[in-house]
Amino acid sequence: MAQSLDRLKESPSQTAGPYVHIGLTPNFCGIGGVYESDLGSTMVNGETRGERIELRIRVFDGAGAPLKDALIEIWQADANGFYNSPAELRGAADPSFSG
């Protein structure tokens, strides 16, 4: 008897961008002078306030196979609820946090 295949619901596809890997990690890709350090290379330091959390994420294709080249974009507020963004008008974000 044939066994039915459980299909995973696929999320919508998106083209690469606004940051392809070169835009995220120009120093790693040998392109200097764009950023002092690559985005996300240092998110917290000893002065960063707030609770530390760790995310472990796996992305699967529609057949259930894990993807090796998926990009997950997250944006998290600092311990005071402020975002590191020019659009943040409520106050200054913690300079020792880039989440």
For the segment 35-81, what is each residue's pLDDT rounded down to a tens digit? 787 777 777 888 888 888 888 999 888 888 998 877 787 888 889 99
The mean of the pLDDT values for the chain is 79
Distance in angstroms (rounded) separating the CA atoms of residues 56 and 70: 13
The identity of residue 79, as a single letter, is A
Distance in angstroms (rounded) separating the CA atoms of residues 71 and 89: 29
Q: 22: part of which helix (H) or strand (E)?
A: helix 21-24
Structural domain contains residue 74: yes
Total structural domains within the chain = 1
Distance in angstroms (rounded) separating the CA atoms of residues 11 and 75: 19
What pLDDT score was predicted for residue 11? Answer: 72
Six-digit token pair at 21?
Answer: 């890997």
Structural domain contains residue 41: no
What range does the domain containing 71 cover?
A: 53-93
Structural domain contains residue 36: no
